[in-house]
């Protein structure tokens, strides 16, 4: 069975895309930058690694 997608991971991913930086996203979400990084890594694990390339394309 596939792992369920956590809405908090999606919120974090959206904040990183919106602000373009982990630090700004962390401040917006009231989380530490390391927590934001962990959320993105967990989302990548669930999604198969496609998240990071989406962040890079968005910020370019």
How many C-beta atoms surround the C-beta of residue 43 within 10 A? 21
Domain boundaries, the chain: 7-59
Residue 1: the pLDDT is 39
C-alpha dihedral over 32, 38, 43, 44, to 10 degrees? 130
Residue 6: the pLDDT is 86
Q: What is the chain's pLDDT, residue by residue, as a tens digit (60 residues)? A: 356 778 999 999 899 989 988 999 999 999 999 999 999 889 888 877 766 555 555 555
Q: What is the Cα–Cα distance from 30 to 19, expressed in whole angstroms?
A: 14
Q: Is the dihedral of CA 47, 37, 9, 2 positive or negative?
A: positive
Tell me the pTM. 0.76
33 token code pair: 């930058």
């Amino acid at each position: 069975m596939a792992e369920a997608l956590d809405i908090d991971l999606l919120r974090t991913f959206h904040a990183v895309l919106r602000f373009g930086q982990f630090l700004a996203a962390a401040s917006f979400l009231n989380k530490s930058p390391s927590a934001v990084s962990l959320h993105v890594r967990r989302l990548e694990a669930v999604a198969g690694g496609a998240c990071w390339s989406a962040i890079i394309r968005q910020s370019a």
